[in-house]
Amino acid sequence: MQTVTLNNGVKMPAIGFGVFQIPVEDTERIVSEALETGYRMIDTAASYFNEEQVGNAIRRSGLKREDIFVTTKLWVQDYEYDDTLRAFDRSMKLLGLDYLDLYLLHKPYGNYYAAWRAAERLYKEGRIRAIGVTSFSNERLQDLFLHNEVKPAVNQLETHPFFQQQEANAFLQREGIQHEAWAPFAEGQNDIFHNPLLKAIAERHGKTVGQVVLRWLNQRNVVIIPKTVRKERMAENFNIFDFTLTDEEMRSIATLDTGKSPIYDDMDLQTTKFIGTLKIHN
């Protein structure tokens, strides 16, 4: 299993399995299939409502706990110090785990300084092996680590051919923070699987468009967590380490960048108000 080493020395698989939008009733079976396929990292979140099913699949797999890297995320509603401690306990109870590999602050809204300090405490107590954030702009991320003790180990960002995050990638590399991609396939937007440029590259290597996209991210040192409900696609998405994109192919994929998200406009006030105030529990 290819790994990356985080800024605190923890090793993280270079590829994992995302479970956003997988129906709760199917999650346990699908995560079991992902583990059978060979995935050793699962990315869930309190707001996906499937932590319990992820935990069940992990226990049923018979794999050793230390061989699986588990990520979950704290929702904005719980971004106060004591609320964060409580939300973490809730997630751990649902997952049925006694330690977590990676805990991420899910969105850059609300009182994320308080949430971060509580996450730092859990990290120092050894209950979490690494802590990080998702969807933080360079400015917010820099401010967060300038005013706190523990530097985030990971920033999970929407990253795919149409939104390549080149500036963020350069900043994260400079700061020693691991770039992880959410929505590596742009959640299917812009007809990504039929993109002519990606299709031509895929045909040249005898691979699929999905495999080219994942390998392109992997060659940029970006950790990937593709989601699929289909077993054959799990294997397809996992099987990306037996070919290499040339420098010219990497440069040609760079031309697909539009510099903005086709999924989520983080400058739109309605969207950010909706997400920033969304409640996931009473």
Which CB, 9 or 196, lies closer to ligand NAP?
196
Q: Is 250 exposed, middle or buried (0-12, 13-18, 19+ CB in 10 A)?
A: middle
Both tokens assigned to 91: 């997630």
* Identity at 83, one-letter amino acid code: D
Which listed residue (72, 77, 84, 134) binds ligand NAP by CB under 6 A?
Answer: 134
Q: Which of 38, 96, 176, 188 binds ligand NAP (CB under 6 A)?
A: 188
Among 20, 238, 241, 243, binds ligand NAP (CB under 6 A): 20
Region near ligand NAP per CB under 6 A, out of 19-27, 52-60, 240-248, 270-278 = 19-27
Under a CB-based contact definition with an 8 Å cutoff, are residues 225 and 18 in contact?
Answer: yes
Q: How many CB atoms lie within 10 A of CB 252?
A: 15
74 near ligand NAP, rule: CB under 6 A: no
Please name the residues in contact with 111: beta carbons below 8 A apart, sequence gap of 6 or more.
Answer: 79, 80
Distance CA 193, CA 186 (A): 10
Q: Which stretch binds ligand NAP (CB under 6 A): 16-24, 54-62, 121-129, 161-169?
A: 16-24
Indicate left, alpha or beta for 191 from its phi (over 0: left) and psi (-120 to 50: alpha): left
Please choose, out of 121-129, 162-170, 228-236, 253-261, the segment that lies near ligand NAP by the rule CB under 6 A: 228-236
Is 112 among the catalytic positions?
Answer: no
Q: How far is the CB of 125 from ligand NAP (least distance, A)?
A: 24
Q: 246: left (phi > 0), else alpha (psi -120 to 50), else beta?
A: beta
Which one of 28, 33, 43, 78 is in contact with ligand NAP (CB under 6 A)?
43
Query: For binding to ligand NAP (CB under 6 A), which residues are involved?
Result: 18-21, 43, 106, 134-135, 156, 182-188, 193, 210, 225-230, 233, 236-237
